[in-house]
Structure 1
Amino acid sequence: MEMQKTPKKRLAIIGSGPMAIYLLKHINDRVNILKQEIGSIIIFESGKNMGMGMPYTPETTDVYNLSNISSEEIPELIDTLGDWLRKQDKSVLQSLNITEFPINDSEVYSRLALGQYFRSQYILLINKLKAKGVSITEFAENKIVDILPGFDEVGVVDQDHHTHVLDKIVIATGHEWKNEEKSGAGYFSSPWPIHKILPQQGHLYNFTIGILGASLSAFDVVTSLAHRHGEFVKEAGQLIFKPHKDAPDFKIVLHSAEGWLPHLQYEQRKSIREIYRHTSREEILSLVDDLGFLRLETYFNEVCKPALKEALFKDRLEEVAHRLDSPDFGFANFVEVMSKKHEYTNSFNGMKQEMVAAKDSVENNKPVHWKETLDDLMYGLNFHAELLPAEDHFFFRKKVKPFLMNVIAAMPLSSANILLALYDAGRIDLISGKVKILNSDSNSGTTHVEVKDLEGETRSIAYKMFIECGGDGTIELTDYPFPSLVSAKSVREARAKFSSEKGKEEVEEYVSKEKIFSENGRLYVYTGGIDIDTAYRIIDGNGNPNNHINNIAFTHTLGVRPYSYGLQACSATSEILVDFWLSQISGDNTGTIQIRETTKIYESNTHL
């Protein structure tokens, strides 16, 4: 009697940006095994351009928007960004706002250049998979509006209400942003797509524009607006901004809670992050206490302090290095001390001071070891974050992560030169303090905000245009874009256990009491976004993983993986998922899995 072959699985990928591209890359790397299971792949993209991603497509970004990552920092695809750029005609490069040659692998280029590069790599990967016998179907401008759960099969519903029946789904959507805006009052809850905030042809903004945030996204807005209200020229080797004569009152005011501008680009010894560069799987698991928790302070003392001390000595920051020897010097103390090194009475003058050291670091190949080391340490912690108790989750998110994102998501020197040129021209300023939007009045055409400074004093400011650039953050379960999964309780909100009743008091200053709950005699807090297991399978209301649906979208899973960002995490996350599939094919993992099992994947792939 002839054995019946098991039908090959139909895989859907929702999204075609960098996360999906790296998923395709890792599938292609292991296709000889995976094609025993996966026969076809369907890729859905809500935008016009397959294989670019929201930050890099001309649908949302602008020719003046610079990326903040160089070729040498981008995880491996088929070509490097530098090699791909060197193959292009100069006319193509000029259309991407690349005017200085030769191409430099340590230089940053426009977001549009990255978009075209990713598109080229996407096409190459699709063709390679097809040549190896995998069927690929692509749907551009086809937004998935729902996912239908099932026992053996699942369905995706597209914007035209067609249902596609599948065996596996990977949610790889990228950035999402709020669409609330009152253009009559000049209020925008996000700057994307950036074209909506730009003046129409022949018009100028002859007034002050307020921006909430001083992040790299805020700088995208700054540079796009500035290039339309003047020109940047070099005089005696210095970048100068010459304002348009018809916009004498054009100015931008950034609002930053801490009064910080981003740290500047720095040279790295090893530009690709690794989970176990400064520790090992065995060491991390050995630090788990009797209650099953990895305490953040334990991780800092046992793993971070030795690595940071070595790095600080290399950077000649001996005074801070010696302070790490004290058992009373904890993570909060380290953040406070290193933050003060970035605090200035005037942040723009502070940036000018930092520019000297940053240029020396980049141009003379002098790494800033402590920043690179800290990034590796937190990157490694991110992939073990489900071991943290609730109180440590929130300490990390509220105290540590803002510091990290300011230090690590560094501004390229070319971007800083633009910012400083605007400052010297009197066209940009920064106000520190927490901002509360009072109202957006379409009748008067103004948005009123209240600023509360560090001393607790408040003042009200009115803007004809006010743009929020605070990032997309973690979604709430009620905003999860696939309502049938929510209504069927096939997903649940991410949560973390408290280590003690005292921990509840520590968290209550950050979240509402409704977010804290008891279940099976244990105290939990909802951390935002949706719950996933260590293999990125969605978790249902009963705590069971769904083997048909994986969610690797950062904005959905930050409640579990709080420090996931950037292209390197895209590559690592998708590789973890593919390696888990391989373990299933070999029979190693079939049901519920724990972090002790999945972390073996991190160990076997040291470049993750």
Structure 2
Amino acid sequence: MTTIAIVGSGPTGVYAFKALATVRSPETVTIWLFEKGADAGVGMPYSDDTASAVMLANIASIEIPPVTRSYLAWLRAQTQALLRSHGIDPQDLDDRDFTPRLMLGRYYRDEFNALIHQAEGLGHKVELRERTEVTDIRPGPDGRLRLLTDQGEVEADFDRVIVATGHAFPDEDENRRYFPSPWSGLVDAVIPACPVGILGTSLSAIDAAMAVATQHGRFVQRRGEQLRFDPAEPDGDARLSITMMSRAGLLPEADFYCPIPYEPLSVMTPEALAALEGRDDLLDAVFDLFRAELTQADPAYAEALDLGSATPEDFPSRYFKARREADPFDWARRNLAEAEADREACRTVPWRYAILRMHEQVEQLVEQMSDTDRDRFEASLKPVFVDNYAAVPPESIRRLLALHDAGLLSVRAIGSDWKMEESDSGTTIRTEDDSLRFDVLIDARGQKPLEAEDLPFPSLRDSLVAAGVEVLDVDDAYRLLGAPDYEGRVYMGAIPYLMHDRPFVQGITAACDIGTQIGAAVLEEAAASGRRRRRIWSGEHRPRLRRGPAEAARTAEPAV
């Protein structure tokens, strides 16, 4: 019998559970699921505790990997009353729609429960522990692992532990004037009408702006009219103002139409990338493929940017030039109109689609780059890729424009050399040539990569630190490396710890890929262990004469 623990039940945990729960195994498999929240399966970004009704998921329905059924099929099975309560028109469901985060959380909760029934129907045993936080992972007897929770030590020992704890942000701060993330109590906080600063301009920053703005008014759209924001009655002389800040002061662009699943690239093929491995000039070689792919996809765009003379270092300035020269809200208005017209016509902008498809290919080589090339990549191609794939729902752009038109929202460029000063009365952002003071500040710059010393499991953390591990390393199946007492038994699916070598590993599709790969590897290992045990019980496995190292290496059973 194999006993497996999944720590965390957001999307990564759900897809790992799916891989385990939907396959009949010759071995008895017991799956323990630990969720520190009240509702397993929901996931932190889609929970009532951290999201509000106005926050939108940054992924279209068509892109959400199905669990037991597609997201669109699940939506069509819901009551009209439920859909309307989340602002969804039951008569206008479309697989390109962006829905509220809370609705996506309901989907994963329902699908998680369906997986439990499937698992039990296939003979697996499932133990669910909600409101239970795993506080440590310790070596146990016979090469197994023991878990400690805030409820005490778990009564079972585990052959494998899958860490799927998801995003990790600072805990809620008692200081209601500074929020270290939009998920640190902002949803429940009462924000007065005052100057509010938000670090960041991407979807997390938009979520923060929506959480604040909707406490002081509402979005209204009448038939044939643009979306507008109607402020509530002012509280005396107090007035709400929201300032979003980033290095360049640019707003994200609206999500653009493109074929899904993605069409293969013509120049940056797997074979072409494989041929670059081991090169000292890896970034420049990658950029040559990038430039050739972009030129072939959209010759007019390449000519407009004079792409033939571009380098990795100056490409971002060419890419962002027109946006930096325009007012951010004027640009957003034009870009929104273009994106909506393209969707209506099912028309794809070739250069946008080419960059979108290339970012995942390039990511595969980042780990192989030298420190110098890695630094160059972080400052050049990475911001371009992030800007491209982090396009936001068109409705989010409409809301930003409505807040700006109401005189409540502005965007500021603060460069890279700025400092933050906190006090009891607020926070000041000091730049090279300005000083911006806010009564409330929200840091919405997104998830930061985490290291070994950030792990919330003391025994595992101490083992890695003692072995000199700073940045976690995993093999192709996401088995954690570097901790001798845990080798091969802990699978690291927590995205923040994977971001050092995989800078774009975020979102539900990445969670699905990671969880599915981990689940399949764990099942294969369980089957291999079962085969070994059966050989022993049948007498097939007999003692052999001791062999020398060379002979042992030739005849050893291959690792699975």
Tell me the TM-score normalized by structure 1: 0.80
Query: Structure 1 counterpart of 2:313, which letter?
Result: A
Given candidates 496, 501, 508, the residue that maps to 1:560 is: 501
How much does 1:76 deviate?
2.8
How much does 1:354 deviate?
1.3
Structure 2 residue 20 is matched with structure 1 residue 27: yes
The answer as to whether partners of 2:356 and 2:388 remain within 8 angstroms in 1 is no
For 1:584 and 1:491, locate their aligned partners in 2 and report how far apart those are by CA, in whole Å. Answer: 28
Match of 1:391 in 2: 372
Given candidates 428, 440, 447, the residue that maps to 2:422 is: 440
Given candidates 189, 192, 211, the residue that maps to 1:205 is: 192
Match of 1:534 in 2: 476
Change (3 A) 1:47 1:98: same
Q: Helix, strand or coil for the counterpart of 1:352?
A: helix
How much does 1:177 deviate?
0.5
The answer as to whether partners of 2:200 and 2:244 remain within 8 angstroms in 1 is yes
For 2:523 and 2:311, locate their aligned partners in 1 and report how far apart those are by CA, in whole Å. Answer: 40
Query: Structure 1 counterpart of 2:389, which letter?
Result: I
Change (3 A) 1:465 1:51: same
Structure 2 residue 143 is matched with structure 1 residue 152: yes
Given candidates 445, 448, 451, the residue that maps to 1:476 is: 451
Structure 2 residue 334 is matched with structure 1 residue 346: no
1:122-149 CA distance string (max 9 Å, x none): 1112211110011111111111111113
Structure 2 residue 301 is matched with structure 1 residue 317: yes
- Alignment of structure 1 residues 367-406 onto 2, 5 Å: 367-406=348-387
Query: Structure 1 counterpart of 2:276, which letter?
Result: L
The answer as to whether partners of 1:61 and 1:194 remain within 8 angstroms in 2 is no
Match of 2:123 in 1: 133
Query: Structure 1 counterpart of 2:505, which letter?
Result: S
Query: Structure 2 counterpart of 1:11, which letter?
Result: I
Match of 2:210 in 1: 223
How much does 1:485 deviate?
1.2
Query: Structure 2 counterpart of 1:257, which letter?
Result: R
Q: Which has the higher contact order (CA 8 A, sep 6+)?
A: 2
Query: Structure 2 counterpart of 1:568, which letter?
Result: T
- More off after superposition, 358-367 vs 88-97: 88-97
Q: Helix, strand or coil for the counterpart of 2:41?
A: coil
For 2:523 and 2:266, locate their aligned partners in 1 and report how far apart those are by CA, in whole Å. Answer: 24
For 1:43 and 1:298, locate their aligned partners in 2 and report how far apart those are by CA, in whole Å. Answer: 45
For 2:439 and 2:359, locate their aligned partners in 1 and report how far apart those are by CA, in whole Å. Answer: 40
Match of 1:546 in 2: 487
Query: Structure 2 counterpart of 1:556, which letter?
Result: Y
Change (3 A) 1:217 1:438: closer
Q: Helix, strand or coil for the counterpart of 1:84?
A: helix
Change (3 A) 1:438 1:568: closer
Change (3 A) 1:78 1:384: farther
The answer as to whether partners of 2:2 and 2:28 remain within 8 angstroms in 1 is yes
How much does 1:119 deviate?
1.0
How much does 1:251 deviate?
1.4
Match of 1:286 in 2: 275
Query: Structure 2 counterpart of 1:107, which letter?
Result: D
The answer as to whether partners of 1:533 and 1:545 remain within 8 angstroms in 2 is no
1:545-601 CA distance string (max 9 Å, x none): 82101101110111122220111111222233344446657879x9xxxxxxxxxx9
- Alignment of structure 1 residues 144-543 onto 2, 5 Å: 144-150=134-140, 152-163=143-154, 164-179=156-171, 181=173, 183=175, 186-196=177-187, 198-199=189-190, 205-234=192-221, 236-247=224-235, 249-271=239-261, 279-289=268-278, 295-302=282-289, 304-313=290-299, 316-320=300-304, 323-324=306-307, 326=308, 329-434=310-415, 436-442=418-424, 445-450=425-430, 452=431, 457-489=432-464, 529-540=471-482
For 2:217 and 2:304, locate their aligned partners in 1 and report how far apart those are by CA, in whole Å. Answer: 44
Change (3 A) 1:477 1:270: same
Change (3 A) 1:149 1:387: farther
1:316-359 CA distance string (max 9 Å, x none): 425158x44x3x53333333321223324421111112122111
Q: Helix, strand or coil for the counterpart of 2:220?
A: strand
The answer as to whether partners of 1:532 and 1:538 remain within 8 angstroms in 2 is yes
Given candidates 76, 79, 97, the residue that maps to 2:87 is: 97
Residues matched between the structures, number: 525
How much does 1:192 deviate?
1.0
For 2:123 and 2:527, locate their aligned partners in 1 and report how far apart those are by CA, in whole Å. Answer: 21
For 1:273 and 1:15, locate their aligned partners in 2 and report how far apart those are by CA, in whole Å. Answer: 34
Q: Helix, strand or coil for the counterpart of 2:323?
A: coil
Query: Structure 1 counterpart of 2:368, which letter?
Result: L
- More off after superposition, 86-95 vs 52-61: 86-95
Match of 1:113 in 2: 103
Match of 2:543 in 1: none
Change (3 A) 1:134 1:582: closer
Change (3 A) 1:388 1:279: same
For 2:12 and 2:213, locate their aligned partners in 1 and report how far apart those are by CA, in whole Å. Answer: 31
Q: Helix, strand or coil for the counterpart of 1:458?
A: coil
Query: Structure 2 counterpart of 1:25, which letter?
Result: K
- Alignment of structure 1 residues 2-17 onto 2, 5 Å: 8-17=1-10
The answer as to whether partners of 1:438 and 1:449 remain within 8 angstroms in 2 is yes
Tell me the TM-score normalized by structure 2: 0.86
- Alignment of structure 1 residues 73-84 onto 2, 5 Å: 73-84=63-74
The answer as to whether partners of 1:256 and 1:433 remain within 8 angstroms in 2 is yes
The answer as to whether partners of 2:241 and 2:409 remain within 8 angstroms in 1 is yes
Q: Helix, strand or coil for the counterpart of 2:256?
A: coil
- More off after superposition, 190-199 vs 10-19: 190-199
The answer as to whether partners of 1:490 and 1:539 remain within 8 angstroms in 2 is no
Match of 2:550 in 1: none
Change (3 A) 1:309 1:575: farther
Match of 1:505 in 2: none
Structure 2 residue 36 is matched with structure 1 residue 53: no
1:503-527 CA distance string (max 9 Å, x none): xxxxxxxxxxxxxxxxxxxxxxx6x
Query: Structure 2 counterpart of 1:538, which letter?
Result: L
1:367-393 CA distance string (max 9 Å, x none): 123233223222123344432323333
The answer as to whether partners of 1:493 and 1:531 remain within 8 angstroms in 2 is no
For 2:319 and 2:133, locate their aligned partners in 1 and report how far apart those are by CA, in whole Å. Answer: 44
The answer as to whether partners of 1:61 and 1:193 remain within 8 angstroms in 2 is no
Query: Structure 2 counterpart of 1:189, which letter?
Result: P
Q: CA RMSD in A?
A: 2.8
The answer as to whether partners of 1:532 and 1:560 remain within 8 angstroms in 2 is no
How much does 1:307 deviate?
2.7
Higher strand share: 1
Query: Structure 2 counterpart of 1:98, which letter?
Result: I
For 2:374 and 2:20, locate their aligned partners in 1 and report how far apart those are by CA, in whole Å. Answer: 32
- More off after superposition, 258-267 vs 76-85: 76-85
Q: Helix, strand or coil for the counterpart of 2:487?
A: strand
The answer as to whether partners of 2:251 and 2:328 remain within 8 angstroms in 1 is yes
